[in-house]
Amino acid sequence: MKLLVTGVAGFIGSNFVYHMLEGDPALVLVGLDKLTYAGNYDNLSRLTPDQRDRFSFVRGDINDRALLAQLFGQHDFEGVVNFAAESHVDRAIHDAQVFLTTNVLGTHALLEAAARAWRSGAGWLAGRRYVQVSTDEVYGSLGQQGFFSERSPLAPRNPYAASKAGADHIVQAFHHTFGLPACITRCSNNYGPYQFPEKLIPLMIRNALRHEPLPVYGDGRQIRDWLYVRDHCRAIELVLRRGRPGEVYNIGGHNELENLELVRRLLQVLGQRTGDPAIGEGLIRHVADRPGHDRRYAIDAGKIQAELGWEPLTRFEGGLTQTIDWYLSNREWTERVISGEYLAFYEQNYAARG
């Protein structure tokens, strides 16, 4: 199988590359990434020589139609997985323009390129699949009860979520209007290695290690459903290989936690692992709430479990400890992604060679 995967230098995309190349020795993967502030080529530096032989990296924008046409012309892709996105809610609140450009228009450009390459006379080449990696945030916010199912109406409440919902609508339109064999996955909050330290868990780990305040928005009672990133990757692979075209699959961890409770557990593990007495709840600071902050997300993952046999394998306690250990062993990674040092290294050592 030959895949085009976008956003491979980001958090989930890089984990997906490792997951796929480790699991399938016959798989060949082309990774496309613009290397924005959130994308780091170094995230892919742990590929084994065999995996590296089956992987090629292209720096580029999913909005670059000429580049997409060139890639689809060079390679007979059987699958496309689109992770490329602007992904941080707080940045979208500050300025949504690039969210619309990448998440909505970029998805459209990719769909057009796949449709053009896979159309064959009146039909479609057999066995192709486009997977759009979306989010539970497109469903909006839940009250105290209930879960998002695939039938829940789309009701995004912040510009990031709205841009992802817009992309989902275009993917579904390409399926219904043209028959493009596309699936959408909508996942809850991921955690694990290689997550950019602006998101809750890696940000709190970094601040605590530096004895800096931990900013908890509002009362900290907002609820998220946390899923270990490799469990998400397994789900995406199943949808790619066996998902029914036109279908949406929700993916969740059955693991709801209030933000404040999550931060307390994180501090407990981090305190134990480091033996640092300064790491404790005294670092927590309640700060102004995020505008339009969604109160609760929770996923009903019954459909993907029933149809594709998927369920999360990583329990939160183990996953959190594993994640904290990774960040402790990779403290220089955190500083380098923040400073942009990895990007400068990429530009000096790789980009010039083409």
Nearest by Cα to 168 from 292, 82, 91, 77: 82
Smallest separation (angstroms) from ligand TYD to the CB of 32: 23
Residue closer to ligand TYD, measured from CB, 236 or 263? 263
Radius of gyration of the chain, Cα coordinates, nearest whole angstrom = 20
Only one residue has tokens 């839940």, namely 142
Enumerate residues 246-275 that contact ligand TYD by CB under 6 A: 259
Binding partner at 250 among ligand TYD, ligand NAD, none, C-beta below 5 to 8 Å by kind: none
Smallest separation (angstroms) from ligand NAD to the CB of 87: 4
Binding partner at 130 among ligand NAD, ligand TYD, none, C-beta below 5 to 8 Å by kind: none
Is 128:111 a contact under the CB 8 Å cutoff? no
Is 279:230 a contact under the CB 8 Å cutoff? no
For every residue of 281-308, DSSP letters joined together read GGGEEEEPPPTT---B--B--HHHHHHH
Enumerate residues 31-70 that contact ligand NAD by CB under 6 A: 32-36, 38-39, 61-63
User: Rounded to whole angstroms, how far apart are CA atoms 269 and 200?
Assistant: 16
Residue 81: φ, ψ to 5°: -120, 120
Residue closer to ligand TYD, measured from CB, 216 or 239? 216
Enumerate residues 322-351 that contact ligand TYD by CB under 6 A: none
User: Rounded to whole angstroms, how far apart are CA atoms 159 and 3?
Assistant: 30
Nearest by Cα to 303 from 177, 181, 186: 186
Binding partner at 200 among ligand NAD, ligand TYD, none, C-beta below 5 to 8 Å by kind: ligand TYD
Residue closer to ligand NAD, measured from CB, 197 or 280? 197
Smallest separation (angstroms) from ligand NAD to the CB of 92: 11
Q: Max Cα separation, the chain?
A: 68
Tokens of 329: 């062993």
**3, 170, 209, 216: which one binds ligand TYD (CB under 6 A):** 216
Enumerate residues 270-299 that contact ligand TYD by CB under 6 A: 290
- Given the DSSP bridges, would you call strands 28-33 and 2-6 parallel, antiparallel or unpaired? parallel
Is 222:259 a contact under the CB 8 Å cutoff? yes
**197, 215, 245, 280: which one binds ligand TYD (CB under 6 A):** 215
Tokens of 172: 């579904």
Smallest separation (angstroms) from ligand NAD to the CB of 146: 19
User: Rounded to whole angstroms, how far apart are CA atoms 354 and 309?
Assistant: 42
Q: Which stretch binds ligand NAD (CB under 6 A): 10-18, 46-54, 254-262, 269-277?
A: 10-18
Question: In the complex, which residues of this chain contact ligand TYD (CB under 6 A)?
Answer: 89, 189, 199-200, 203, 215-217, 222, 224, 259, 290
Question: In the complex, which residues of this chain contact ligand NAD (CB under 6 A)?
Answer: 6-7, 9-13, 32-36, 38-39, 61-63, 83-87, 102, 106, 133, 135, 164, 187, 189-190, 196
